[in-house]
Structures are given as C-alpha cells and as structure tokens.
Amino acid sequence: DSGVTQTPKHLITATGQRVTLRCSPRSGDLSVYWYQQSLDQGLQFLIHYYNGEERAKGNILERFSAQQFPDLHSELNLSSLELGDSALYFCASSVGSQGSGQPQHFGDGTRLSIL
C-alpha cells in the first residue's frame, strides 16, 4: 500500500461528459503529480501541484484542469470527453517540490473508459 488514495477506481462515461478524479496524497507529502497512461502514448506527465500551487504543466489538454486543496487532496477535472481520453490516470505524491529527487509514490489509478 503506497498510502496514496485515488477514487474512483473505475469510471465509465460517454463522450462529451465531464468527470472528476480525486487523489489523497500520503500523509506528509506536499506534492501531487498527475499522469496519464494510455496504450499509444505510454505514461505521460500532466500537471504538478505543490502545497496548493501549480508548479509545472506537461502534456495536459485545455479540456483538463486540476487543483490542490488546503487539505492537500487534489482533483483532476476532465471535460468534453473524447474516446481518446480513455486511459489509466495516476496520481503520485512526494514530500518535496520539483528538483528534490524525492521518490514519487503512486496511487492505484483511476481507469477511465469513454463509450
């Protein structure tokens, strides 16, 4: 058990819809990272928050947004969903901010299926 909690585990929805993925980091971790794992793109970094502030953006679509709340949990919002958004979405947490080299601990992921 990594200590990182992601909900829900599975999500099935239709094109055009909007969903919210939730992540609670390990106790004491201030950084939250979101990654997308798909068959064609592999594991790709989406966005990084540290102690409530956005620190870095990767290949995140404009239809996607995220935030980290004062209690340090984070939500990833995906809107106007397309078939290509079907993927496994991981949240990872670490103690430090960017450049600290702290290992990232991953949640079990949310599997999103778009029908």
Partner 1 sequence: AQTVTQSQPEMSVQEAETVTLSCTYDTSENNYYLFWYKQPPSRQMILVIRQEAYKQQNATENRFSVNFQKAAKSFSLKISDSQLGDTAMYFCAGGGSQGNLIFGKGTKLSVKP
Residues that bind partner 1 (CB under 8 A): 2, 31, 33, 35, 42-45, 48, 50, 55-56, 58, 88, 90, 92, 94, 96-101, 103-106, 108-109, 111
Distance set, CA 98 to CA 18, 47, 49, 52, 94 (Å): 30, 12, 10, 14, 10
77 or 102: whose CB is closer to partner 1? 102
Instruction: Give least dist CB 103 to partner 1, A.
Output: 5
Instruction: Give least dist CB 47 to partner 1, A.
Output: 9
| 8 Å CB contact between 21 and 93 | no
1 or 62: whose CB is closer to partner 1? 1
